[in-house]
Amino acid sequence: MASLDEQDDTGALERARARLYAPNTATQDPHARLAAPGERALPHAWKEQSLPETPISRGRRHVRFAGIFFAAAFVFFMISLAVAAYFFYFGGNSVSIDKISIGIQGPTTIAAGDTVPLSLLIENKNSVPIKNATIEIDFPNGSRSATNVLTPYPRYTENLGTLASGATIARSVKAIVFGAAGQTLSLPITFSYSVAGSNAIFVKKSSYALTVSSTPLSLSVDTLAETVSGKPLTLTLTVRSNTTVPLDNVVLSGALPFGFSVASSSLPFSNSSFLLGTLPPGASKTITIAGVLSGQDGEQRVFHFSVGTAKTPSDQTPSVTYMTQDATVAIAAPFIDTTISLNGNAAPGAVVNPGTTQSVTVSYTNTLATNVTNATISIALSGSAVDYGSIQTSNGFYNSATHSIVFSQDTDPALASLSPGASGIGVFTFSTLPAGIPAPTIFFTISESGTRIGQTNVPEQVSASLTESVKVTTAVQLSNAALHTSGPFTNSGPIPPRANQATTYTVVWTARNEGSAIAGGSASATLPSYVSYTDKTSGTGSFSYDPGSRTVTWNVGDMAQNSSAQGAFQVSLTPSTSQKSNAPALTGGLSFSGYDRFAGVQISATAGPATTATTGDPGYVSTDANVQ
């Protein structure tokens, strides 16, 4: 075996140099301990002959530590996530607007001008108190204070202060609210608050809806939808009270469009306002304004009217506005001026009765400075109230396919060439259908056409059209009858009645509305001198008796379409010997009146007197009616 010196024949200097210039050689520690004198250094060959180095165990310890760290981090993350979920779903000490409960109770349907009471209930369901709690309710434009109708009340605001956790606070708010019939009003509600230790402001919003069923004062405007420039135009305004108490200082104000000049009015027109004074319950007033509207072809003019009450009789400025109504009128350039007359009435807004024959006259005039050749005037009828099978004309042609009555050169040779200023007349008739149709209306669409010589001396076609409407009133069927052995009262006295002896009868009045809704229905009749009123009444509505005029009045009230009402009262008859062998009248003729809400006019009906002929009684015979 060779010695170490024989194997390591490289000099020490060469080995040191090799170590010095080796690229991966670690720098020698300058503080390495020097070998003590006499210590024996190990030969270099020992290192070369040593066993392979065992992997350092510190790397494995590092891997185990990283795994433990990441496992602990994952567990901490899951615990944090669970805690966050708990506080998110179960609240903990968090503050949320969802934990503020705002309950509001009140009417959902009101009549405009009514006092609206609202009850608020606010509860803090947060686990901490809230401070500077403030509630705000915005009311619609025109709202008034419940304590003073002349004071505007646009908003209710109150600082509720601090609400403890679980605390509940109640408030009552009242306001007078206005709006158009059928309008839905929204009352925005805002609740704001803050919490201790935070500058944040929390806001919760909600709303409350109100529907306006009616207005204290209603306003309707009737006029033409289209007119010719320079032609007279009439507007009919109807103001009606829908309240149960009188309304004072009622004022109607209007904003008339440019180009309209007032020729006359049925009431004094001061500062674009009409002072109507006091309107009793159910009463109405009609105002007409006549004038001339001028403008260019195709332009539109808007008439704006408002109805309300003024502060004082001398000041016509509305302090409270209940309803507004607009009417838009289109302007057309004429070349043939036509006028339609219904039953001799050429005024706009005419009304007719159901189940009756109507006579229509159409007059036409050439307004141009040149001839109009092949002139044609056509009137088309439409609407739910027209009996199309009844249309007839004497000097025109009825086209049943289009429901049009046509006047042309085929029916009137003068229309072949209508000279300037020339005029003519066409006539036709038709019938309205019986009552019972919803919103019964008749429309007349008048069309004119022809050929004229234009400004360039070239023939050109000209045409124009306009539409007029007519409303059909409702019909009321009345019945005036007497009973003795039947009915709501127990009657006494001999049957047949005997002279100088009292016999009591039940008088039954029945009213049936066969058309549009009726407001303020009332019926009345007078009693003969030999009949007395016993003050016993029954049925719908209420009865009253005026001894001075001997008039019995039945206040029926409002009647819906196709509805009926019946009322009864008792009278006592003491016949005279001069009435023997006769059936005396127990009442005079019965008359009914009411306001047709659709047609906007008063309607009436009549029935004959009630007599001792009690035909509605079981076993009645004709001889029971005659005085013995």
pLDDT tens, 376-417? Answer: 999 999 999 999 999 999 889 999 999 999 999 998 898 998
In this structure, of 222-226, 307-311, 428-432, 528-532, the range with the lowest mean pLDDT score is 307-311
Task: Give the pLDDT of residue 51.
Answer: 47
Nearest to 552 by CA among 588, 605, 594, 519: 588
Distance CA 380, CA 399 (A): 9
**Residue found by looking up tokens 């042609």 in the block:** 397
Strand partners, 554: 523, 543
Asked whether residue 521 carries a pLDDT value surpassing 90, the answer given is yes
Asked whether residue 91 carries a pLDDT value surpassing 60, the answer given is no
Task: Give the pLDDT of residue 71.
Answer: 82
Task: Give the pLDDT of residue 469.
Answer: 86
- The model's confidence at residue 48, banded by pLDDT at 50, 70 and 90, is very low
Which of 170-184, 192-206, 332-346, 548-562 has maximum average pLDDT?
548-562
Distance CA 229, CA 346 (A): 18
Nearest to 161 by CA among 194, 128, 204: 194
Distance CA 439, CA 599 (A): 8
Distance CA 535, CA 95 (A): 70
CATH 2.60.40.10 is the classification of domain 336-472: yes
- The model's confidence at residue 59, banded by pLDDT at 50, 70 and 90, is very low
Identify residue 499 by its one-letter amino acid code.
Answer: A
Task: Give the pLDDT of residue 45.
Answer: 47
Exposure class string for 110-140: b at 16+ Cβ within 10 A, else e: bbbbbebebebebbbebeebbeebbbebbbb
Nearest to 106 by CA among 96, 119, 115: 119
List, in order, residues 6 or more apart from 242 with CB less than 8 Å away: 111, 214, 215, 216, 217, 218, 282, 519
Q: Where are the alpha helices (DSSP H) in 517-589?
A: none
For residue 360, count other CB atoms closer than 10 A to its CB: 21
Task: Give the pLDDT of residue 421.
Answer: 85
Give Cα 48 distance to the centre of its chain: 107
Phi/psi of residue 350, nearest 5 degrees: -70, 155
Identify residue 557 by its one-letter amino acid code.
Answer: G
352 versus 198: which is more confidently predicted?
A: 352
338 versus 48: which is more confidently predicted?
A: 338
In what side-by-side order are the strands of the sheet with 531-539?
476-483, 503-513, 564-573, 531-539
Asked whether residue 4 carries a pLDDT value surpassing 50, the answer given is no
**Residue found by looking up tokens 């006029």 in the block:** 223
Task: Give the pLDDT of residue 448.
Answer: 84
List, in order, residues 6 or more apart from 513 with CB less than 8 Å away: 474, 475, 476, 521, 559, 560, 561, 562, 563, 564
Examine residue 496 and say whether the peptide bond preceding it is cis (omega within 30 degrees of 0): yes
Q: In CATH terms, are 97-214 and 217-332 the same topology?
A: yes
Q: How many CA atoms lie within 13 A of 538 on its CB side?
A: 11
State the pairing for strand pair 404-407/503-513. Answer: unpaired
Q: What angle do CA 464, 469, 470 make, to 5 degrees?
A: 145
Residues 324-344, mean pLDDT to the nearest whole number: 83
Asked whether residue 331 carries a pLDDT value surpassing 70, the answer given is yes
Q: Where are the domains of the chain?
A: 97-214, 217-332, 336-472, 476-625
Quote the mean pLDDT of the chain: 83
306 versus 507: which is more confidently predicted?
A: 507
**Residue found by looking up tokens 């149960």 in the block:** 244
Q: Give the global pTM.
A: 0.50
Task: Give the pLDDT of residue 486.
Answer: 94
Asked whether residue 597 carries a pLDDT value surpassing 70, the answer given is yes
Distance CA 303, CA 260 (A): 10
Contact yes or no for 105/128 (Cβ under 8 A): no
Task: Give the pLDDT of residue 88.
Answer: 52
Which of 7-16, 283-292, 564-573 has maximum average pLDDT?
564-573
36 versus 318: which is more confidently predicted?
A: 318
Distance CA 114, CA 2 (A): 128
Contact yes or no for 219/307 (Cβ under 8 A): yes
Give Cα 519 distance to the centre of its chain: 20
Distance CA 455, CA 450 (A): 16
Distance CA 107, CA 212 (A): 11
In this structure, of 77-86, 141-150, 346-355, 488-497, the range with the lowest mean pLDDT score is 77-86
Phi/psi of residue 260, nearest 5 degrees: -105, 120
**Residue found by looking up tokens 């079981």 in the block:** 618
Q: What angle do CA 164, 167, 172 make, to 5 degrees?
A: 125
What's the first-to-final CA gap in the chain, in angstroms? 176
**Residue found by looking up tokens 């002139």 in the block:** 375
Which of 7-11, 454-458, 479-483 has maximum average pLDDT?
479-483
Q: Which CATH class is domain 97-214?
A: mainly beta
User: Which SS3 state, helix, strand or coil, does residue 21 take?
Assistant: coil
Residues 505-510, mean pLDDT to the nearest whole number: 96
Residues 305-333, mean pLDDT to the nearest whole number: 78
For residue 472, count other CB atoms closer than 10 A to its CB: 30
Asked whether residue 127 carries a pLDDT value surpassing 90, the answer given is no
- The model's confidence at residue 372, banded by pLDDT at 50, 70 and 90, is confident
152 versus 587: which is more confidently predicted?
A: 587
Residues 476-625: name the CATH superfamily: Mu homology domain, subdomain B (2.60.40.1170)
DSSP string, 73-133: HHHHHHHHHHHHHHHHHH-TT---GGGEEEEEE--SEEETT-EEEEEEEEEE-SSS-EEEE
Token pair of 439 as six digits: 């919103």
Residues 422-431, mean pLDDT to the nearest whole number: 92
List, in order, residues 6 or more apart from 162 with CB less than 8 Å away: 129, 130, 131, 132, 133
Task: Give the pLDDT of residue 334.
Answer: 65
Contact yes or no for 617/508 (Cβ under 8 A): no
- The model's confidence at residue 49, banded by pLDDT at 50, 70 and 90, is very low
Contact yes or no for 447/464 (Cβ under 8 A): yes
Distance CA 177, CA 143 (A): 5
Distance CA 517, CA 434 (A): 15
Fold of 217-332: Immunoglobulin-like (2.60.40)
Residues 291-310, mean pLDDT to the nearest whole number: 84
Which of 69-73, 149-153, 371-375 has maximum average pLDDT?
371-375
180 versus 171: which is more confidently predicted?
A: 171
Contact yes or no for 586/550 (Cβ under 8 A): no
Length of the chain: 628
